[in-house]
Amino acid sequence: MDLTTLTYIAVGLSFALYIGIAIWAKASTTGEFYVAGSGVNPVVNGMATAADWMSAASFISMAGLIAFLGYGGSVYLMGWTGGYCLLAMLLAPYLRKYGKFTVPEFIGDRFYSKTARIVAVVCLIFISFTYVAGQMRGVGIVFSRFLEVDILTGLIIGMSIVFVYAVLGGMKGVTYTQVAQYCVLIVAYTVPAIFIAFQLTGNPIPQLAFGSTVNGTGEFMLDRLNQVVTDLGFLEYTTTSKSTIDIFAITLALMVGTAGLPHVIVRFFTVPKVRDARSSAGWALVFIAILYTTAPAVGAMARLNLTQTVQTGPVGAEDGNLVFEQRPDWMKRWESTGLLSFDDKNGDGKIQYYNDANAEFAAKAEQYGWKGNELKVDNDIMVLANPEIAQLPNWVIALVAAGGIAAALSTAAGLLLVISSSISHDLLKSTFTPDMTEKQELLTGRIAAAVAIGIAGYLGYNPPGFVAQVVAFAFGLAAASLFPVIIMGIFSKKINREGAIAGMLTGLVFTMGYIIAYKGVFIAPILPNTAEYWLFGISPEGIGAVGMVLNFAVAFAVSKVTAEPPQRIQEMVEHIRVPKGAGAAVDH
């Protein structure tokens, strides 16, 4: 059976499964729509959390970044995984004990201010829409290649599926759909990795193959990869061009950004008890580890396969001239998506894939007729193209397509529900129209989700960068705005509403301004995205760490010169932190 047919079958069956679950788990109350009725089993919630957290950035883009950045890509592994541990230990149990629906609701109550709640909603919407842009781009990439449709058509299909199970099922439907999506994405990620690991090293366990010798060479994989990439003028795979401070800042921003992501935090509101929140956090880490320990091997194997595939030698001679092998079929298929391009600059028929940025190497290569790098490869295609590069069976390639879509849609649905609940519950029901009935609130939530899906589709069609980069910006915004105020709200009785509001706005405005300055369409040309122009040598991906420090500093300073929080608020904070009664949520 051909690849296109198999892909349609695999993706179609997965979509049918998601829609069926949404119909079965249709939300009938606001509690079910927002937090699945707070009755989800911890193991089930752990699996749903893993799917919610492992977005298109984890499935599609992270290994692609590692493939091209090498050691430098470790910041994404360390930041995202470390951040989840931070979330599980410092935030999840306390927020679950508080027992409300949303993060802005906690911030509004803790800082006794509707203004603080509204500012939290604004921060949350900025974060969520930035993050969801990366997910929808992932959907477009998968559809455009494997279903052979244009990106816009792919986005419309993906938006339609999310609309059905997010708008109809709410958090209840999304939770059980995410369990199915986790199963799809983890099988789709590990099966090709096992095939390729065995193909390259004879060891079927990717984590062990990463440190094994390459078949027929006797060289360890990383030694072989270092040799191959340095021969092409690139840095050694096991080194990085990033400065120490930038690595630290990006890792910190990703860590605290993870802990401040509202769509992950809300997952811990869906379990019955506080101890279940801790348990589901542990289970989620187990499920996440399966993919995250596989990703470094996938990235290394993808880079090695790509380089060895495109650097083909002469296959014969004709009229005294060498004849080179034509570019492989997988490249021709990906060229149609615009995410890979080959420009034969010297007309020799050979793919010249070298490092243009290496002036010393370029000068030497030009002596042999090289006129510049002829191949451009988008980071985001590496995981998806890897099975094709390795010439794996079509059913494996189709499985990867279904997994990539599952990863993108699972996170997109969680983000869209967070946006929906913030608008319907935090802005309308709790702030502007308190007389709204539960039925009206549920309808408003569904309408808000539908509108958010439309905006997400537009952002997916016009994203401000590749998937993992866009997601890194979202984590930076979360680190600079929501994380500090949540931490201070739980662990400090002295931070008041004025401090919280000032801190959130400072962190958000500073971080957003810095990102726009270097990445924005109109302003970026004024400030080129090069290290010599960065503040303290910190890239836009890591600037959220500085925004976080500013948030803390401003919040503490403003709180010092304004009135203390009321006594009832200080008692509430003390009660949330006390282990006594940890089996049940507090009702305020």
Calpha distance 60→111 (Å, rounded): 39
Q: Each residue's pLDDT tens digit in the chain (588 positions)?
A: 777 788 788 878 887 887 787 777 666 666 666 655 667 788 888 888 888 777 666 777 778 888 888 888 888 888 878 887 787 777 777 877 776 667 788 888 888 888 888 888 887 887 777 777 777 777 777 777 777 777 777 778 777 777 776 666 666 777 778 888 888 888 888 999 999 999 888 889 988 988 888 888 888 988 888 888 887 778 888 888 788 898 899 888 888 887 777 677 777 777 777 777 778 888 888 888 888 889 888 888 888 888 877 755 444 455 555 445 566 777 877 877 777 888 877 776 677 777 777 767 777 667 666 777 778 887 778 888 888 888 888 888 888 888 877 777 767 777 777 777 777 776 777 667 777 777 777 788 778 877 887 887 777 777 655 444 566 677 788 888 888 998 898 888 899 999 999 998 999 889 888 877 776 544 444 555 566 778 888 888 888 899 999 999 999 999 999 999 999 988 888 888 775 544 445 444
φ/ψ of residue 324, rounded to 5: -100, 150
| Domain count of the fold of the chain | 1
In a domain, 346, yes or no: no
Instruction: Indicate whether 77 belongs to any domain.
Output: yes
Give first-to-last CA distance, the chain, whole Å: 59
The reply to whether 325 falls in a domain is no
Query: Do 38 and 178 touch, CB atoms closer than 8 A?
Result: no
Within a domain: 494: no
**Helices 3-24 and 151-162, axial angle in degrees (round to 10):** 30
CA distance 53 to 412: 10
Token pair for residue 166? 């997010």
User: Is 513 part of a structural domain of the chain?
Assistant: no
Both tokens assigned to 495: 């931070």
User: Which domain does 245 fall in, by range?
Assistant: 3-303+387-481
DSSP 62-73: HHHHHHHHGGGG
Domain of residue 25, CATH code: 1.20.1730.10
- The answer to whether residue 146 sits within a structural domain is yes
- Structural domain contains residue 344: no
Q: Within a domain: residue 17?
A: yes
Torsion region of 289: left, alpha or beta (phi above 0 gives left; psi -120 to 50 gives alpha): alpha
